[in-house]
Structure 1
Amino acid sequence: MQGSANLNVMIKAARKAGRSLVKDFREVENLQVSMKGAGDFVSRADIAAEEIIKNELMEARPNYGWLGEEGGGEEGKDPTRRWIVDPLDGTTNFLHGLPHWAVSIALEHKGEVVAGVVFDAAKDEMFFAEKGNGAWLNDQQRLRVSSRHKMIESIFATGVPFGGRGDLPQTLQDLARLMPTCAGVRRWGSAALDLAYVAAGRYDGFWERRLNAWDMAAGLVILREAGGLVEPIDPEGDILSGGDVIGANEAIFDSFAKIIRD
């Protein structure tokens, strides 16, 4: 699929950062004896990847704004456009040597995410989309959400709060309502990839609370362009600023959303 100049810049930046992270990922296993050492190493890998992405994107589009997980936000000369970047979504997986993490890059225009890239460098899977041009995997494969229309046949993904976060009881209540109605729930530790997997039909739906904009911005446009429905869990809320999201194929969305919103 021939993308726009902006999308090509995003893909190039994601690949460059991904190569750096893959190289660092091979070293993680040697650091497992020291959690502090491994944590510091991964933090440096994360920051280095963001620097690579920022250099690539801002060199190509110096007037755009910036929002990154590590570097925070910067206003651009063009107030209508902003890059939203998570250089390493799935840091805990990376730290533990689990090959399920991604580079996430999105472009926002006038408050709407119009292009997104989620690069799973460990598996060499590049998910990407632009508004109005569909969603794709590795240039040739068009992405479509699953066609399942029965909850009992569907599997869902979410993130389970950790480290004493206050929303754990709410998520456990979600699971108690949802799990009897479906074929399973997965918790793989990367919201960006969860959204991309719904777009690819690997999962049938995804929900999570208290995410950051950079965790999901790219995944939102990829899922929408693959034919999925994406809304805030609170119908009156805003996904990017509120951080609560629910997405699925159209056939099961209403049933799924009713359970989560109950």
Structure 2
Amino acid sequence: MIKSYASLDDAGVAVAAARAGADVVHSMYGRRLTRIDKGAGDFATAADVEAEKAILAVIRAARPDDAVLGEEGGHQGAVEATRQWLVDPLCGTLNYAVGNMVVAVNVALLDGAAAVADPFSGEVFFTDGEAARARHGGADVPLVPTSATRLVDVNLDPPFPSAPGFRGVDLLAHPGFVERFRPRVVSTTLALAWVAAGKRAAYVTDGSDLSGSVHFAAGIALCRAAGCVVTGVDGAPIGQGNRGLVVAADADTHGLLMSMIRGRS
């Protein structure tokens, strides 16, 4: 097993790691899991912890010299490592804890390959940093963004420390939004993969600079590789100290959302 992981390219490692985490999440679903309090209303479960262990086992076997930043375990590996993996073993923990299957497993090599696994559909969305694909049932298909659904996911999880200039609830109340789009709130970054796959027209969230976030890095990489428009809520490219995300299937959708956000800020 270790030898087979070592032979994979970075995209293959990301897919294998995300799948390993997704298998754990799927297998532990429905159990009564103790909540591990993280403060400010946030918590983890044994599924988060065990899924991260499974992901780390794959990365260590395949890339022993790489560092890892995990949501549950923090930084692991050599401080001087030139490559770092960002791991969110269970995005949507509250959904999962109450029996909602809308969750994601996120694995990303910083500025490189990434994968987002849906533990319950069996889909894995992945990129090598250039092209973006979905794997399901042994077949790979290109991700093709489209705004045809008119569905826009808006993250409403409060509080956002940097949020005084923008609130997602205000966007939902904008007359133009009501006229042109239909809101969805799934509370997991699986929604970013759905934008890349054409299942959503856009995704909007506030927050700090999310470019290096374990929660968002894999979804951002997917959307960029698929050709989506990815900016902060100020419209500037992410990673420049700005905040939040506006990810849209196309420039027209992005432009419409930015005009509404600016009108409400």
TM-score class, shorter-chain normalisation, is: 0.7 to 0.9
1:121-160 equivalence runs, <5 A: 121-138=119-136, 139-146=139-146, 148=148, 154-160=150-156
Identity over the aligned pairs, expressed in percent? 26
CA 1:121–1:240: 2 relative to 1, 3 Å: farther
Structure 1 alignment gaps of length 5 or more:
32-36
Alignment root-mean-square deviation, CA: 2.6
State the partner residue of 1:82.
84
Q: How far apart, in 1, do the equivalents of 2:241 and 2:78 lie?
A: 19
- Partners of 1:89 and 1:190 within 8 A in 2: yes
- Partners of 1:135 and 1:225 within 8 A in 2: no
Which SS does the other structure have where 1:141 is aligned?
A: strand
Deviation at 1:4, TM superposition (A): 6.0
What amino acid is the match of 1:159?
A: N
Which of 4, 15, 18 is equivalent to 1:11?
Answer: 15
- Partners of 2:44 and 2:93 within 8 A in 1: yes
- Partners of 1:63 and 1:77 within 8 A in 2: no
State the partner residue of 2:171.
174
CA 1:165–1:257: 2 relative to 1, 3 Å: closer
What amino acid is the match of 1:70?
A: E
Which of 22, 40, 43 is equivalent to 2:26?
Answer: 22
What amino acid is the match of 2:19?
A: R
TM-score normalized by structure 2?
Answer: 0.81
- Partners of 1:64 and 1:78 within 8 A in 2: no
Structure 2 alignment gaps of length 5 or more:
1-6, 37-42
Q: How far apart, in 2, do the equivalents of 1:165 and 1:233 lie?
A: 13
- Partners of 2:236 and 2:242 within 8 A in 1: no
Deviation at 1:173, TM superposition (A): 1.6
Deviation at 1:85, TM superposition (A): 0.6
State the partner residue of 1:214.
214
- Partners of 2:10 and 2:128 within 8 A in 1: no
1:188-199 equivalence runs, <5 A: 188-191=186-189, 193-199=190-196
Which SS does the other structure have where 2:167 is aligned?
A: helix
Q: What is the number of residues matched between the two proteins? A: 242
State the partner residue of 1:230.
230
Which SS does the other structure have where 1:51 is aligned?
A: helix
TM-score normalized by structure 1?
Answer: 0.82
Deviation at 1:16, TM superposition (A): 1.7
Deviation at 1:183, TM superposition (A): 3.0
Q: How far apart, in 1, do the equivalents of 2:243 and 2:61 lie?
A: 29
